[in-house]
């Protein structure tokens, strides 16, 4: 145990995801060493993020106004919605510069172990967007399910497929392929094998 | 394949040790609890599949946060420098020729070993879990691309069990997602069962041959025991693994869980599937008595041991054929448990099985092994004691 304020900082930090008591201590002692200006800048950043950043009312991406940058952008193709689990997934897809449609962030995936069912995700809101496109948007034709390629992501994708396909929408799933920069020569037989197993036809 | 040398750092009781290994049979001698098994275990870890007998946390020397292994592995005409860092709770990092691998388990595509120690008796004598693990690990050794299968299965099973346990008792609307988990369960469960059947079918002829040789006659029978797969299907599959079709298995599992849906909801868990399957091992009652008896209940400890050894040697044979290279053979304290005749037989057998590490606390017991190289282990230090040509 440390003196009051220091212990409080350690306790607060160890509540953060991925930070155990040891790392919390390390970060706390680092903060102790930085200048007052740096410390203020850090606290301001935290406060500002809470004050100014919120979730987009339409797609639940992070936003600084009612709508996020993608929902605001009238040049995006509103007939396609790409469904992801978390906002950072959008950044990964945007980096490819291959996608020009809209997004929908579920804020998680179906996981009974963690007590997360369909009602805990933004699925109702997705259905509402499909049934009643926002003003200026075209009706949705395709939903690309880009949930994570793991057990929970797959289950969520299957659930969405069962829900959306009967509505006459085209529901597609991202093929899980090789990570970019993956080392093909050595031992990535595992990943390569998985990519081969999950291969899909390029043209319908 | 062959390990030319291995360096251990903070691994079990080794602070730091460098061991040069010979081609052929390497004998590891020393009194008990000096680190003989630990050396075999370290070589097994090079296959990326962890220890054959303990969790990662047990591999790190007291007072250290990680264990390091460095080895030079020869595979065909490739020289592979393997570096591993075992960090309990944070996974294992591995490099091949200084290139990081996506995961240490990817090493299983490069180095493969077969371990047989006193605990392997449980392969015949113990609970079904050990036999399932034996098959599942063999699946990975033969087809590294299927590495994720068992873990994916366990994850799906855990999720579905959690849903069966909580959904009927809460007001949640999660129950409709059970269909989705059923579909995952059937798809992954069928893939796992298909992989096991294929591996067991491939192992069967080698097991027959090895058992007959080691037991001096007699027969071993292996069967896949499952409550949800039609018996005709498993029998046909073991005769001809090409008949194994995962979609057919998925259909059987679906029919099975549909039938017991109510009971699964009441019990709050999955009641059928590969998690309950087993392999039965039967032995001929006697050389002149053709009756087949279940080895788990009716065989003597000696017969259980020889049948477990036959399975492991068969694994080595199968891997040798499929990988086009001989896996490392790790025999931990096996000779002392055998009678003189079988020692002689095993000593002769391993001479044609590539590189082997054979540990023993009783020097006399391993004379039959006629080692190329003798490594003396004492207090977590390994010294090449003497070498001779067999
Ligand atoms: Zn938005």
- Is there a contact between A190 and B145 if contact means CB atoms under 8 Å apart? yes
- Is there a contact between B177 and A119 if contact means CB atoms under 8 Å apart? no
Would you say B224 and B196 are in contact if contact means Cβ atoms under 8 Å apart?
yes
Would you say B311 and B207 are in contact if contact means Cβ atoms under 8 Å apart?
yes
**Structural domain includes residue A58:** no
Arithmetic mean of pLDDT, A167-186 = 61
Q: How confident is the model at residue B389 (pLDDT cuts 50, 70, 90)?
A: very low
The predicted structure's pLDDT at residue B385: 60
Whether the pLDDT of residue A84 is over 60: the answer is: yes
pLDDT digits (tens, 9 = 90+) for B252-275: 999 999 999 999 999 999 999 999
CATH of the domain at A48: 1.10.8.420
The predicted structure's pLDDT at residue A196: 52
Q: How far is the CA of A105 from the centre of ligand 1 (A)?
A: 9
The predicted structure's pLDDT at residue A182: 33
- Residues A80 and A166 occupy one common structural domain: yes
pLDDT digits (tens, 9 = 90+) for A20-69: 888 899 999 999 999 999 999 999 999 988 888 899 999 999 998 999 99
Q: How confident is the model at residue B304 (pLDDT cuts 50, 70, 90)?
A: very high
**Structural domain includes residue A62:** no
Between B76 and B222, the higher pLDDT residue: B222
C-alpha torsion sign, points B289, B290, B291, B296: positive
- Per DSSP (E only), the strands in chain A are 54-55, 62-63, 77-84, 101-105, 142-145, 170-173
**Structural domain includes residue A67:** no
Q: In what order do the strands lie in the sheet with B373-378?
A: B113-116, B328-332, B356-360, B25-29, B373-378, B381-387
Residue A83: give the domain boundaries: 74-173
Q: Which residue of A has its CA nearest to B48?
A: A187
Q: Round the average pLDDT of chain B to a whole number and report it.
A: 90
Arithmetic mean of pLDDT, B263-289 = 92
Q: How confident is the model at residue B174 (pLDDT cuts 50, 70, 90)?
A: low
Whether the pLDDT of residue B37 is over 60: the answer is: yes
CATH of the domain at A123: 3.40.1360.10
CA angle B138-B143-B144, nearest 5°? 95
**Structural domain includes residue A124:** yes
Whether the pLDDT of residue B388 is over 60: the answer is: no
Would you say A71 and A60 are in contact if contact means Cβ atoms under 8 Å apart?
no
- Residues A14 and A98 occupy one common structural domain: no
Question: What are B279's strand-pairing partners?
Answer: B224
The CATH class, in words, for B1-112+327-390 is alpha beta
Partners of A118 on chain B (C-beta within 8 Å) are 173-174, 176-177
The predicted structure's pLDDT at residue B386: 53
Would you say B8 and B16 are in contact if contact means Cβ atoms under 8 Å apart?
yes
Find the CB nearest A112 among B109, B174, B176. Answer: B174
**Structural domain includes residue A69:** no
What dihedral do alpha carbons B63, B58, B5, B359 form, nearest 10°? 120
A197 touches chain B (CB under 8 A): yes
Quickly list DSSP for B245-306: -HHHHHHHHHHHHHHTHHHHHHHTS--SSGGG-EEEEEEEEETTEEEEEEHHHHS-HHHHHH
- Residues A136 and A160 occupy one common structural domain: yes
- Residues A45 and A114 occupy one common structural domain: no
pTM of the entire structure?
0.84
Q: Which helix (H) or strand (E) holds A36?
A: helix A36-52
User: What is the DSSP code (8-state) at residue B17?
Assistant: E
A23 touches chain B (CB under 8 A): no
- Residues A156 and A98 occupy one common structural domain: yes
- Is there a contact between B177 and A110 if contact means CB atoms under 8 Å apart? yes
pLDDT digits (tens, 9 = 90+) for A99-139: 899 999 999 999 999 889 999 999 999 999 999 999 999 99
Find the CB nearest A159 among B97, B143, B180. Answer: B180
- Residues A169 and A183 occupy one common structural domain: no
Contacts 24+ apart (CB under 8 A), B338-344: B338/B305, B338/B306, B338/B365, B339/B302, B341/B216, B342/B214, B342/B306, B343/B367, B343/B368, B344/B368
Least confident of A25-39, B94-108, B214-228, B247-261: B94-108
- Residues A15 and A82 occupy one common structural domain: no
Task: Give the total number of structural domains in chain A.
Answer: 3
**Structural domain includes residue A109:** yes
Can you read off the two tokens belonging to residue B350? 């391993």
């Amino acid at each position: 145990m440390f003196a009051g304020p220091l212990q409080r900082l350690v306790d607060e930090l160890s509540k953060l995801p991925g930070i155990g008591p040891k790392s919390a201590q390390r970060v706390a002692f680092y903060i102790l060493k930085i200048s007052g200006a740096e410390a203020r800048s850090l606290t301001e950043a935290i406060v500002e993020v809470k004050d100014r950043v919120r979730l987009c009312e339409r797609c639940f991406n992070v936003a600084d106004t009612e709508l996020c940058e993608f929902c605001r952008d009238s040049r995006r193709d509103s007939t396609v919605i790409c469904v992801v689990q978390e906002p950072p997934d959008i950044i990964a897809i945007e980096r490819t510069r291959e996608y020009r449609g809209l997004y929908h962030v579920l804020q998680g995936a179906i996981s009974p172990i963690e007590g997360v069912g369909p009602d805990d995700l933004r699925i109702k809101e997705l259905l509402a967007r499909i049934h009643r496109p926002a003003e200026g948007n075209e009706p949705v034709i395709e939903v690309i399910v880009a949930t994570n390629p793991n057990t929970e992501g797959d289950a969520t994708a299957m659930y969405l497929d069962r829900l959306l396909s009967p509505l006459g929408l085209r529901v597609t799933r991202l093929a899980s392929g090789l990570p970019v920069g993956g080392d093909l020569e050595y031992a990535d037989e595992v990943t390569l094998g998985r990519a081969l197993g999950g291969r899909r036809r390029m043209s319908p | 394949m062959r390990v030319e040398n291995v360096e251990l750092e903070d691994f079990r009781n080794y602070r730091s040790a460098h061991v040069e290994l010979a081609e052929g049979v390497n004998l590891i001698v020393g009194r008990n609890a000096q680190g003989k098994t630990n050396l075999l275990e370290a070589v097994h870890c090079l296959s990326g599949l962890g220890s054959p007998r303990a969790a990662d946390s047990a591999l790190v020397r007291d007072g250290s946060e990680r264990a390091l292994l460095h080895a030079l592995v020869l595979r065909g005409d490739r020289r592979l420098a393997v570096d591993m860092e075992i960090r309990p709770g944070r996974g294992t990092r591995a490099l091949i020729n200084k290139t990081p691998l996506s995961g240490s388990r990817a090493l299983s595509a490069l180095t493969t070993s077969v371990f047989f120690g006193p605990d392997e008796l449980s392969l015949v004598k113990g609970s079904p879990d050990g036999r399932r693990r034996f098959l599942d690990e063999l699946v990975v050794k033969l087809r590294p691309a299927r590495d994720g299968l068992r873990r994916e299965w366990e994850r799906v099973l855990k999720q579905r069990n959690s849903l069966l346990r909580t959904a009927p008792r809460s007001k949640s609307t999660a129950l409709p997602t059970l269909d989705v988990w059923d579909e995952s369960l059937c798809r992954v469960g069928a893939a796992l069962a298909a992989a096991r059947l294929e591996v067991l079918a491939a192992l069967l002829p080698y097991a027959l041959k090895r058992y007959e040789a080691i037991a001096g006659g007699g027969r071993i029978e292996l069967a896949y025991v499952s409550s949800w797969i039609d018996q005709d299907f498993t029998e046909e599959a073991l005769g001809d693994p090409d008949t194994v079709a995962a979609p057919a298995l998925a259909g059987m599992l679906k029919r099975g869980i549909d039938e017991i849906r109510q009971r699964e909801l009441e019990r709050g868990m999955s009641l059928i599937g590969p998690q309950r399957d087993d392999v039965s091992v039967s032995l001929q009652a006697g050389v002149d008595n053709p009756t087949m008896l279940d080895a788990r209940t009716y065989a003597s400890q000696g017969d259980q041991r020889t049948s477990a050894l036959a399975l492991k040697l068969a694994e080595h044979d199968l891997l040798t054929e499929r990988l086009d290279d001989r896996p490392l053979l790790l025999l931990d304290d096996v000779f002392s448990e055998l009678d003189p005749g079988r020692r002689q037989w095993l000593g002769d057998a391993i001479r044609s099985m590539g590189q082997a590490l054979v540990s023993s606390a009783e020097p006399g017991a391993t004379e039959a092994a006629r080692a190329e190289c003798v490594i003396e282990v004492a207090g977590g230090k390994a010294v090449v004691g003497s070498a001779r040509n067999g």
